[in-house]
Structure 1
């Protein structure tokens, strides 16, 4: 790959949902998938994991494109302190959804921006509280058959059919539940010198 031009903005994510959210800001950007091990470290809290992964993803791409503004993000689902990652299979998705049934689940969305003018990367974690309905096995089965959630933290896509699984969502930034907190991102990009509408 060729080196980036000054002013290039790169989203360090393969998620189509994050790309969709980025388009809301009406800025030109490119996206690339960072190769990062998402395994939690021993004793790592869900919030610490979300923050570390966002920073690691941004920094790994920024090393390849040091003149670019790089955005890293990751999301971790947290059920009573237990980390729920991406299920990988439908069977694991069903198990995760049974675990979340009737529970308040925290979705921690880590965000990091690396930019040439920053001494250190800017990073934050936005947390969304999601209260799940009591879900029957039949409801879980229908949902998992209708929506591919194998690569989604906690097996829920609130931007799709997953919204039917919850009673309430509490957040200061609704975009954080999809995995890219746009309110915090706007602040970070402005600090990096990006003019937003």
Structure 2
């Protein structure tokens, strides 16, 4: 008799990540991780998101020691500056005006932690967004319609935000939304969970 698969937990309260993970058809629950997400002094963006993705998974593992836990974190970088979630209209307007006609690199950290063994698989998935030159009126019109104030980079690529872009560059388009599913599937398979296997 096959042993029961460990419960799968998404260490996130993000509705965007939850919707992405639902695509795989695997049963899972979500748990909010209690993690200090501040950047360390001079910490590179890729190192930051990889560290936080694992920290989120390990924080949840304390109360769920029998689970497979998915942690993820994302930042958007314009030149060497990290663009956080804007939080309000004024910040979103400033972010999109800075990004107009330029490219923004999204770094998404991903961790799959087997809490039973403490073994963590971690990676960072890059994805680059090339913005069209945008007028202030276009940016204001976009913000009025979509209000993406809880999204890094001030847009929702799965919605009207696609109209802001000249092109997208990356191996895993779901990374842009916050959870790189193509890479996650490989990690799940390595941990013995195949989304395409028999249910």
Q: TM-score, normalised by structure 2?
A: 0.92
Q: List per-residue Cα deviations over 1:124-146 (Å, max 9, x = no partner).
A: 01000110011111111111111
Residue 187 of structure 1, CA deviation: 1.1
Q: Which residue of 2 aligns with 1:175?
A: 174
Q: State the distance in 1 between where 2:147 and 2:35 align.
A: 22
Name the residue aligned to 2:47: 48
- Within 1, Cα distance between the matches of 2:9 and 2:51? 18
- Partner residue in 1 for 2:145: 146
Q: Give the number of equivalent residue pairs.
A: 193
Distance 1:185-1:118 versus aligned 2 partners, 3 A rule: farther
User: What is the SS of the residue equivalent to 2:119?
Assistant: coil
CA distance in 2, matches of 1:111, 1:87: 22
Partner of 1:93: 92
5+ long unaligned stretches in structure 2: none
Deviations 1:103-160 (A, max 9, x none): 1110111100111455531110100011001111111111111112111111111011
Mapping 1:61-72, distance limit 5 Å? 61-72=60-71
Question: Separation in 1 of the partners of 2:184 and 2:28?
Answer: 14
SS of aligned partner of 1:107? strand
What SS class does the counterpart of residue 28 from structure 1 fall into?
coil
Aligned-pair distance for 1:6? 6.3
- Kindly report which structure 2 residues correspond to 1:16-165, keeping only aligned pairs within 5 A, or say none: 16-116=15-115, 118-165=117-164
Task: Provide the C-alpha distance between the structure 1 equivalents of 2:182 and 2:159, rounded to a whole number of angstroms.
Answer: 21
Contact 2:73 2:109 in 1 (8 A): yes
What's the secondary structure of 1:83's corresponding residue? strand
Please state whether the residue corresponding to 2:195 is helix, strand or coil. Answer: coil
Please report the TM-score for the alignment, with normalisation by the length of structure 1.
0.93
